[in-house]
Structure formats: structure tokens, C-alpha cells
Amino acid sequence: MTDSLTIDRRAEARETPDRRTHPRDVFVEFRDVFKAYGAKKVLSGVNLSVYRGEVLVILGGSGTGKSVTIRHMLGLEAPDSGRILVEDEDITDLPEEELYRVRKKFGMLFQSAALFDSMTVFENIAFPLREHTDLSDEEIARSVEEKLELVSLPGTGHLMPVDLSGGMRKRVGLARSIVLDPKMILYDEPTTGLDPITAQKINELIVDLQTKLNVTSVVVTHDIQSAFTVGDRIAFLNNGVFEWVGAVQAARDADHPQLREFFRSSAVVAAQPTGPG
């Protein structure tokens, strides 16, 4: 029986050059990571490298451990065994106060955008700055407006979340996730619940921010169109390991049967009508 480490190494060996060339400098690395919740095994010896400056898209079926993977990157989950490194620092056994320092390297866009409904757009974006910096009110205002410009929402700071469309909420959530100037952005299903036109605008924004901010990004998504639009590489999580890792163009022609079935099923779902209107 082929073990998980062998599978992941074979996956790495199938990689081809990225669409956009990046130095092969590892930002986050998983080394033989196992994680289970009771009898349910989620990660079964995961090995994965996220390279600085790339967009890595994590694909996989529901419940396969995609969100668990990014929670491990943040140190919100500890592996049962194995090691996790962030910028060559082993964070696996760090105490909470040290993990807080590591987490400041990351920005996170949650699936729901996770805005505070009682706060204005400005207050939502300013919240991390007020909590974690000593910036003056003038400096905070300047930073918030700068981030709103980056997500194409200038002049919206006075609005409340209830006044925003789904796409605008995602943009505000993204502005808040980058307000502390992170080195890596984690996206959890960024286009879920959006119509195709709005979803494409979010995809374009991810690519635009990648260029302007020179960050590293990991995108968890079920949206195949999004994966091919924003990704440099795709990592396919199945049976607790990344069974296929490679460039987006190589993924289209991959001979991995489960990955091909995932693409086929996703295409069928995407083609189904959403109802009248």
C-alpha cells in the first residue's frame, strides 16, 4: 500500500513551471502532518509547500480538510503529529503569545466576510488597526481609505454592512484582511454565494492585489473557474493527503482520476440553471 508521504512526493514530482514565475522560496511548509477529530481522520500525513509570491489554490470535496489546512497555517489548530513551518520557523509547539506574532503575517478573508453589523465600513476596516497598532486617528483614516481604494470601494466608509451587496461585503472583508499589510492572504471560498459576474470581479481583484501588494496567497475554493483564473498552482486534497500538486495548466490535462472527476462534477453543477430571474 502506497503511504501518504510517497503520494505527496509523487504529486510534487508532477509539477510543471508556474504560469507566473516565482522564486522557489518556501513561505509555509507542512511536513507529514496528521490531524484527527476522534475517530475521524482528516489529515493523514500531509506534505505541502507554499512558495513565496504565488497563489496556491486548494481544491477538494466537502469535508476533506481544506479549511483545517488553513487553520493549521494560522496556528489555530495544532497537528496530532508532524511539523508546520512559517518562513522557516517551526510553529508547531509555539505558545499562544508567540503564535499571535506569527498570525500577524497573515490576512484572512472568511467565506461570510465576517463583518461587524453594528459598525460602519470604516470602523470595520479600522478595527484591527485600533486593536493592534498605536497609529493616530489621522494615520488610521489614511490607511482605511487606501485599502478601500485598493478594493475599488472609495468613499464607502460611512455605509453599514446592511447597505452592502454580497460582493461589496467581500470587498470590505478583504480590505480589513489587508489593512495590517500581511505577507500572506488566506481566502476561504471567496466567491461562494456570488453571481457569476460578481464572482469574476472578486477573482480579478485577487489577481490585482497579488500584483500590487506582492503577497503570497492560498485560496480554498470549490469554484473551478476561480481556481483557473487566480491560481499559479493547484493542490488537490483527497483521502487526507494532497494527491496532486501542480501548475494550473497541467491540472487541466491531469491523469489523476479523482481530480478529473472533481473537475467534471464541478462543471456539471456550474452548468445547471439557478432558477428564473
**pLDDT tens digits for 146-196?**
999 999 999 999 999 999 998 999 999 999 999 999 999 999 999 888 899
The Cα–Cα gap between 4 and 9 comes to: 9
Residue 1: predicted pLDDT: 44
The grid cell for 179 is 489593512
Residue 161: predicted pLDDT: 94
**pLDDT at position 8 over 70:** no
Residue 14: predicted pLDDT: 43
**Which of 197, 195, 170, 167 shows the shortest CA–CA distance to 185?**
170
Which of 12-26, 218-232, 246-260 bottoms out in mean pLDDT, i.e. has the lowest? 12-26
Does residue 173 form part of some domain?
no
Does residue 91 form part of some domain?
yes
Model confidence over 104-148: pLDDT tens digits?
Answer: 999 999 877 788 999 999 999 999 999 989 999 999 999 999 999
Domain region containing 88: 4-105+182-270
- For residue 275, name the pLDDT band (cuts at 50, 70, 90): very low
Residue 53: predicted pLDDT: 94
The Cα–Cα gap between 138 and 141 comes to: 5
Does residue 131 form part of some domain?
no
Residue 222: predicted pLDDT: 83
Does residue 153 form part of some domain?
no
Does residue 261 form part of some domain?
yes
As a whole-number percent, the residues of the chain with pLDDT over 70 amount to 88
Model confidence over 32-63: pLDDT tens digits?
Answer: 999 999 999 999 999 999 999 999 999 988 88
Please enumerate in sequence order all residues whose Cβ is within 8 A of that of 208, keeping only pairs 6 or more positions apart, or say none: none
Which of 106-110, 207-211, 269-273 bottoms out in mean pLDDT, i.e. has the lowest? 269-273
The Cα–Cα gap between 238 and 58 comes to: 11
Does residue 134 form part of some domain?
no
The angle subtended at Cα 35 by Cα 31 and Cα 40, nearest 5°, is: 145
Alpha helices (H) in the chain, listed in sequence order: 4-13, 66-73, 96-103, 121-132, 137-150, 166-178, 196-213, 224-230, 248-252, 257-271
Residue 126: strand, helix, or coil: helix
Please count the structural domains in the chain: 1
Describe the strand order of the beta sheet including 40-51 as a list of residue ranges: 40-51, 26-37, 81-86, 89-90
Strands 216-220 and 184-188: parallel
- Kindly report the CATH number assigned to the domain that includes residue 196: 3.40.50.300
Does residue 276 form part of some domain?
no
Residue 113: predicted pLDDT: 73
127, 119 contact by CB (below 8 A):
yes
CA 67 to chain CA centroid, nearest Å: 9
